[in-house]
Structure 1
Amino acid sequence: MDSNLVCNISPVAGSLEESAIRAIANFGMSQPGVTPLWFGESDISTPDFISRAAIESLNKGETLYTPNNGLPALRETLADYQNRLFSRSFSAENIVVTLSGTNAVMLAAQTIVKPEDRVVVLSPAYPVLTAIPRLLGAEVVEFPLSAAGGSYQLDIDALRTVLKGARALIINSPCNPTGWMASDEQIQQLTALSRELGFWIISDEVYNRHVYQQRCAPSFCSHMSESDTIIVCNSFSKAWCMTGWRLGWLTVPKAVRPTITKLIEFNVSCAPAFVQAAGIAAIEKGEVFLQQTVERFRVSREMTQRALTGIRGVTLYETPATFYAFLKVEGLADNSQPFILDMIETAKVGVAPGEAFGKAGRGHLRVCYGANHDALQNALHRLRNFLLAR
């Protein structure tokens, strides 16, 4: 690339690092016979009842622009869905439809973050959550979860100190990559802290339904009021196996919605009508499918725990939610990519490097156990042998 051109691009954009997960995947996809456990998706295809809704919409010629903040029918459907989950009284005026969960986080951040603001992100964290505020010119402070006894914990007292003077807190619960999940009490504490100190909360809750001991994870939706500085981000990608559809939503105080609607116009204009039709079908008809998927992942989690427990120098953390296993590997370099590339070539298994999720992820590996059970069992056997032989 012409060096003069490079010098003239945005220094913030130019300083962004390539996705370490994507780098691993690009190499792994070029190798024959590799089981991919690197991306955050299962191998379950979108169910037919969702696809048929999109096809019917296309057959009706519904390919024109839609309202910036989403079709009223989808917004009403999402409000009703969350009211059932959280015993609330949201209306369509609290809902904004987005193009994916990533777009939801970007819109939330664009709404509240200014250059030189300080934004605190709980870490380890999905890379998008730290990259977006940096792109907006903010100072990002990674606040690490505490790891002890094979589980992650959040020290709210220590976090309170860090949040003084901060513009926003970005929290992902249930968490990718750790599987950690905030308790309802902690969410209430953070809501009260936001009211006291005046910072915004952007809550990424895309794994809200992938929990193993209850119907859904504790959510800020249960406690936020119309005067709270809280924005909740969600997505159709995980719960309804729609990663490629790129459809998400925001739950916001009504007063914030007009501003986000304007931002959508200047970012992406609107979500396609036929994709939104698929979203309505997912919400209205997808509960049985969702529960079946969670049950499959419950078995997958047990398989993963059996395979990766008891390996010398390897700590497997508890995962009450998501479909990830997060491993601490003793002696693993801060840059784990050479280790994983060797794993791909030797064991024919690919995982995500922990450092992709921030400083607190160094020395770790993330395993997505979304593969079908036959493929997963085979991959876990090879992965265990590779870790035993290291």
Structure 2
Amino acid sequence: MKTTSITQRLAGLGGAKWDLHLAARDRAEQGEDIIEMTIGEPDVPIPDVMVEQAIAALQAGRVGYSNGRGENNLRDALAELYTKRRGRGFDRDNVLCFPGTQTALYAVMQGVAEQGDEVLVGDPLYATYEGVIRSTGAEMVSVPLRPEHGFRMQAEDVAARITDRTRAILLNTPHNPTGAILRPEELQAIAALALKHDLWLISDEVYEDLVFEGSTFLSPLALPEIADRTIAVASISKSHAAPGMRSGWAVGPKSFCDALLPVSETMLFGNQPFIADMTAAAVREGSPVAEGMRNRFARRATYLSDRVEAETPLRVHRPEAGMFALIDVSPLGMDNESFAWALLDQQGVAVMPGSSFGAYMGDWVRVALTVEDDALTRAVDRICAFARLRAAAE
């Protein structure tokens, strides 16, 4: 039977990017000694207080249909949070709630692009971005994020790729997979391009609460000159170690939220009330686990970098936020896929090939910093041993 064009546009963009991760997990289940450093799973469980809040909401019968925009208590909590953090006023009409950042981003993209349009996005990029863009019928246009600029998007690279078909720029700051954070002057230069060319600016900010000490995050939502063309998406998945609860949102102009509401209602008709109640409390009370994750991930990134760069020819890109670090494997004369599979086969360490995150990551692999410290030590031992053997064989 014939399937629709969306299935053809998304063909090859699903699980194939995660083949190595799935292979590593299969080997671990068969009893092999595998250290898994592939996906961005928080290294702590969801806080007990959030579980208790969700159970209390369930017991209170909060399982009916939701408002298509999301529950008002959650939208109010998010408006308060964004007013405090962004330095300008928001209210519930600036918020739509969704089950996770992914769904929010999918819906938002449906509202800004369609067949024949183009959306600019930094490369490397989170693995699902191409899919959410191509699902609309639009084409993804890659903007290279260069190592010499710390993998931060540069306005001149954006400007060189804007055409009369461009409708939006998709930002991810703090960035996955690189952990880079746009500097204020870089963000303002990109915002100026959005104004000049009448573009939407979409900002995935799910790692905002995992910014390391010494680094500063600025959201485009804090720039009043582009307030009418900026939409941010986020969730509690990373900040509150609750990826499985699927609770996210989009924040933007009231007019945009009004226009997108029928899309949201068609998809899901609001988020689950008992999860919304839990999320509203979590947003108001703040995360009890974010600070610990920030400190651990920063410390682990430093440990990985110090040892790998001291003991091997490899070099590490040190993140400013998030859950990952990048290793440049090109000094070994290997591409990212060959390195990642050989490391898994020979040392039992699973890292993600950079090619899973775009065309400009051929020299890099992504390493999750979410394993326990003793596992990290063993993994670094194995990575260093592998690299030394490869270097000696060159």
Residue 163 of structure 1 aligns to a residue whose secondary structure is: coil
In the TM superposition, what are the counterparts of 1:170-189 in structure 2 within 5 Å? 170-189=170-189
Residue 128 of structure 2 aligns to a residue whose secondary structure is: helix
In the TM superposition, what are the counterparts of 1:238-387 in structure 2 within 5 Å? 238-310=238-310, 312-330=312-330, 331-333=333-335, 336=337, 338-387=338-387
Structure 1 residues 244 and 120, CA, compared in 2 at 3 Å: closer, same or farther?
A: same
- Contact 1:85/1:216, CA 8 A, preserved across alignment: no
- Contact 1:96/1:249, CA 8 A, preserved across alignment: yes
Q: CA deviation at 1:98?
A: 1.1
Q: CA deviation at 1:181?
A: 1.0
1:172-200 per-position Cα deviation (integer Å, ceiling 9, x unaligned): 11111111110122222222221111011
AA aligned opposite 1:111:
G
1:122-177 per-position Cα deviation (integer Å, ceiling 9, x unaligned): 1100021122111211121111012228x334331232121242111111111111
Q: Which sits farther off after the overlay, 291-300 or 12-21?
A: 12-21
- Contact 1:20/1:353, CA 8 A, preserved across alignment: no
1:95-124 per-position Cα deviation (integer Å, ceiling 9, x unaligned): 111111111110110001110101111110
Q: Which residue of 1 aligns with 2:155?
A: 156
AA aligned opposite 1:158:
D
- Contact 2:221/2:230, CA 8 A, preserved across alignment: no
Aligned positions, number: 382
- Contact 1:203/1:231, CA 8 A, preserved across alignment: yes
TM-score for the superposition, normalised by structure 2: 0.91
Structure 2 CA distance for aligned equivalents of residues 112 and 186 of structure 1 = 23
Q: CA deviation at 1:227?
A: 5.7
AA aligned opposite 2:108:
A
AA aligned opposite 1:258:
D
In the TM superposition, what are the counterparts of 1:186-265 in structure 2 within 5 Å? 186-213=186-213, 217-224=217-224, 228-265=228-265
Q: Does 1:70 align with 2:70?
A: yes
Q: Which residue of 2 aligns with 1:130?
A: 130
Q: Which sits farther off after the overlay, 90-99 or 325-334?
A: 325-334
Computed over aligned residues only, the root mean square deviation of the Cα atoms, in angstroms, reads: 2.0
Structure 2 CA distance for aligned equivalents of residues 20 and 350 of structure 1 = 16
1:38-60 per-position Cα deviation (integer Å, ceiling 9, x unaligned): 01122211110111110111111
AA aligned opposite 2:110:
Q
Structure 2 CA distance for aligned equivalents of residues 299 and 20 of structure 1 = 32
Q: Does 1:27 align with 2:29?
A: no
Instruction: Give unpaired runs (5+ residues) of structure 2.
Output: none
Structure 2 CA distance for aligned equivalents of residues 155 and 340 of structure 1 = 29
Structure 1 residues 327 and 20, CA, compared in 2 at 3 Å: closer, same or farther?
A: farther
Structure 2 CA distance for aligned equivalents of residues 307 and 41 of structure 1 = 24
